[in-house]
Amino acid sequence: MSLYKQWTEMVTEYVKVKGEEAFWEEYMQVETAIYKDILANHSGSMKLVISEAAKKYNTTEEFVMGFTDGINDSLNKSYDLETIKNTEELVLDINLEKLYYNMLDAKAEYLYTLPQWEAIFSDEKRKEIKKQYNGSVIVRNENKIGRNDPCTCGSGKKYKKCCGK
């Protein structure tokens, strides 16, 4: 069984036994510790061996695999997670702008507010990335209905006299 499959099954079992809140509490601690190290040493790419990282961060290989799953979309070259072995050396070539954006998208405030970001991006740059993110999640209706257009409900009345009231 692949390590990725072990990770997904472990999450399911963990939530059944200890609850979702307990899972997120433990996972967030592991994830935060790893990201603090990554962001503190953000120059170049980082090498990661899952079995070694599990020992370093005092956690299981499955939790480190979960971290790898989470960061995979922020890498310049992503990995096929199903094929990763616990002793394989992974080179994490991280696109930091994409990582920050993805943290905003995941609503991981505990990660995108880490003080280590201050050494990577200026406050203005972080605001710019947040503005890009906010712009991507706003739904804009391109076909605006005018007050005097026929109502879209099919009543035959003007919009302002029907659903636009």
- pLDDT tens per residue across span 140-158: 767 788 889 898 888 989 9
Q: Quick one: tokens of 101?
A: 């954006």
Q: Provide CB contacts within 8 A for 79, sequence distance 6+.
A: 68, 72, 90
Q: What pLDDT score does 97 carry?
A: 95
**Ramachandran assignment for 157, one of left (phi > 0), alpha (psi -120 to 50 degrees), beta (any other):** beta
Q: What pLDDT score does 19 carry?
A: 95
Name the strand (E) or helix (H) holding 54: helix 50-56
Q: Rounded CA gap, 151 and 158, in Å?
A: 5
Q: Quick one: tokens of 54?
A: 């599990």
Please compute the mean of the pLDDT values over residues 70-96 and round it to a whole number: 95
Provide the pLDDT confidence category of residue 43 given band limits of 50, 70 and 90.
confident
Q: Does 137 or 38 have the greater pLDDT score? A: 38
Provide the pLDDT confidence category of residue 3 given band limits of 50, 70 and 90.
very high
- pLDDT tens per residue across span 47-77: 999 999 999 999 999 999 999 999 999 999 9
**How crowded is residue 117: how many other Cβ atoms within 10 Å of its Cβ?**
21
